[in-house]
Amino acid sequence: IAGITQAPTSQILAAGRRMTLRCTQDMRHNAMYWYRQDLGLGLRLIHYSNTAGTTGKGEVPDGYSVSRANTDDFPLTLASAVPSQTSVYFCASSAADSSGNEQFFGPGTRLTVL
Amino acid sequence: GQNIDQPTEMTATEGAIVQINCTYQTSGFNGLFWYQQHAGEAPTFLSYNVLDGLEEKGRFSSFLSRSKGYSYLLLKELQMKDSASYLCAVIDSNYQLIWGAGTKLIIKP
């Protein structure tokens, strides 16, 4: 693994189903983030984690949950998917919090909820 | 509320210079990033400004004026591969990144 990876690359999901998007980084970064990106809108922060064992809510956390059991992994779960969660999801990591530390992004997961 | 404004789309000619502006109104300021994002790909880091002035990095430069809540990204000697979206993001007082919607730059031969 080099950098930050996400799985799956894309997914079509029926409304009401549960889905976990996976994110793994091998850079030993403390901070990790989940964003969604929708056409015409900026990246919006869903949840973040400043260090293993801690998580926080971003701008649009409703309908999503995260966990940070270790440094490398930061899965995002949609408990019961709805069509408005159709989006491209990016996971990112940085050495520390956002203060001056660039964020490195995974390749993204394109999710369609029908 | 927090707001970051960038032009939605710009067009420039190969070999020319283009300036992409970003104005922001945020609760506090702890730095500003510019990222490049090619279509269908992830954003990648271009520059970081925390003090007023110009930061130059090869063909790309970024300027910041904190008193005006203003930044620009300057791209020189444009190449076709520079066709991409350029994202401005500000670190607010809670050390969270607030992202602009991005500027789609189209380069014509």
pLDDT in tens, chain A (114 residues): 579 999 999 999 999 999 999 999 999 999 999 999 998 888 999 999 999 999 999 999 999 999 999 999 999 999 999 999 999 999 999 987 656 788 999 999 999 999
In whole angstroms, give the CA distance from residue A55 to residue A65.
10
In residues, how long is chain B? Answer: 109
What's the one-letter identity of residue B23? T
Query: Are the CB atoms for A12 and A59 separated by under 8 Å?
Result: no
Say if B96 is an interface residue toward chain A (CB within 8 Å): yes
In whole angstroms, give the CA distance from residue A101 to residue A106.
16
Average pLDDT score, chain B: 95
Which residues in A lie closer than 8 A to residue B100 (C-beta atoms)? 42
Nearest to A104 by CA among A30, A47, A53: A30
Q: Which residue of B has its CA nearest to A6?
A: B42
Three-class SS of chain A:
CCCEEEECCEEEECCCCCEEEEEEECCCCCEEEEEEECCCCCCEEEEEECCCCCCEECCCCCCEEECCCCCCECCEEECCCCHHHCEEEEEEEECCCCCCCCCEECCCEEEEEC
Residue-wise pLDDT tens digits, A33-66: 999 999 888 899 999 999 999 999 999 999 999 9
Say if B91 is an interface residue toward chain A (CB within 8 Å): yes
Residue-wise pLDDT tens digits, B28-55: 999 999 999 999 999 999 999 999 999 9
Residue A99 is predicted with a pLDDT of 65
Residue B24 is predicted with a pLDDT of 97
Which residues in A lie closer than 8 A to residue B45 (C-beta atoms)? 102-104
Q: Measure in Å the smallest separation between the Cα of A108 and chain B Cα atoms.
A: 7
Residue-wise pLDDT tens digits, B57-84: 999 999 999 999 999 999 999 999 999 9
What's the one-letter identity of residue A64? Y
Yes or no, beta carbons of B99 and A106 under 8 Å apart: no
User: Nearest by CB to B43, which of A58, A98, A105?
Assistant: A105
